[in-house]
Amino acid sequence: MLTFPNAKINLGLNIIEKRPDGYHNLETVFYPVLVEDALEITLLRNHAGKGECVLNLSGKEIGGCTKDNLVVKAYQMLNQDFGLPSVEVNLLKHIPLGAGLGGGSSDAAFMLKMLNEEFGLNLSEEELEGYASRLGADCAFFIRNQPTYAEGIGNIFSPIRLSLKGYCILVVKPDIFVSTRDAFAHINPRSPAFSSKDIVLLPVEEWKGKLVNDFEESVFPQFPEIGKIKEQLYQLGAIYASMSGSGSSVYGLFRDDISEYDFGEGTFVYHGILQ
């Protein structure tokens, strides 16, 4: 069984307050984007037992041990409750890591959905969201995979009637790693004058200057190259540009398709049309 986990972008991201547990309350709008990985599961050959998940990785390099990959953790979580057959998983990584695009969370959520379908677990979307939320704050977004307003630590969801269908998007990820911990350390939490869920309902041409990502305030001074990419996107004609999540990717929205751009060697660029 084969599926294609997709990325997301953040439309606005406001860090509202630091919680007693050390996390931060925030508000943002998640929007799906067709930057995709490829995820395949098959029954483990010559293996009659249950409870084993063998993960093969290709594409962009992922550090660490495979047993710590969220795809494996998603399998183990369902295996504890349902006693799943042993599987072999092939994951081709195309979504860049450390980009604020939710690639790892998407892989895990799509793994949950695929196991549910393949083995007839009959889990509802609500139940799948419950499992996904145990793997990461934004992981549950990818279960329904539709425009969503997120609150809390990014885990309290409300659907939002928003369509950017037909807009051209450029997603640019330089070869820079931004530590989420460091990005939060330089944040000054505050309530926004206007909620992102209200701003995104305005015409996109009115977003600039209103729909903000608070992380830009702390990340751009540390990594001026990321801020320059945002400037380049506006120079290319973007009607709105922003960093996604805590970085380091930046995206631009365009009314018309764009064919010529150059962000330098070693930079990941996705060029597509939003659905």
Active site residue 138: yes
Domain-wise residue ranges, the chain: 2-159, 168-273
Which of 37, 36, 42 lies closest to 89, judged by CA? 42
State the Cα–Cα distance between residues 223 and 174, nearest whole angstrom. Answer: 10
- Those residues whose C-beta lies under 8 Å from the C-beta of residue 111, and which sit 6 or more positions away, are 39, 41, 70, 71, 74, 75, 89
H-only helix segments in 102-204: 103-118, 125-133, 141-144, 180-185, 196-199
- With a cut of 80, say whether residue 47 has pLDDT above it: no
Query: Of the listed 107, 138, 197, 230, which one is catalytic?
Result: 138
State the Cα–Cα distance between residues 106 and 100, nearest whole angstrom. Answer: 12
Whole-number pLDDT of residue 247 = 85
Whole-number pLDDT of residue 48 = 63
Task: Tell me which residue has tokens 């081709």.
Answer: 92
More confident residue, 40 or 62: 40
Contact between 177 and 15 (Cβ < 8 Å): no
What SS3 class is residue 67? Answer: helix
Rg (CA), the chain: 19
Which of 23, 20, 9, 8 lies closest to 152, judged by CA? 23
pLDDT digits (tens, 9 = 90+) for 113-163: 999 999 999 999 999 999 999 999 899 999 999 999 999 999 899 999 999
Distance of CA 231 to the CA centre of its chain: 23
* Pairing state between β 148-151 and 24-36: antiparallel
Contact between 100 and 247 (Cβ < 8 Å): yes
pLDDT interval class at 100 (50, 70, 90): very high
Beta bridge partners of 92: 38, 58
Contact between 103 and 97 (Cβ < 8 Å): yes
Angle 103-118/125-133 helices, nearest 10 degrees? Answer: 140
State the Cα–Cα distance between residues 197 and 30, nearest whole angstrom. Answer: 10
Q: Do domains 2-159 and 168-273 have the same CATH topology?
A: no
State the Cα–Cα distance between residues 101 and 119, nearest whole angstrom. Answer: 29
Contact between 250 and 243 (Cβ < 8 Å): yes
pLDDT digits (tens, 9 = 90+) for 169-222: 999 999 998 888 888 888 889 999 899 999 999 999 999 999 999 999 999 999
Active site residue 37: no
| CATH superfamily of the domain spanning 168-273 | GHMP kinase, C-terminal domain (3.30.70.890)
* Pairing state between β 87-93 and 38-43: antiparallel
Q: Which fold has domain 2-159?
A: Ribosomal Protein S5; domain 2 (3.30.230)
State the Cα–Cα distance between residues 109 and 80, nearest whole angstrom. Answer: 17
Query: pTM of the entire structure?
Result: 0.94
- With a cut of 90, say whether residue 23 has pLDDT above it: no
Q: What is the mean pLDDT of residues 233-262?
A: 94
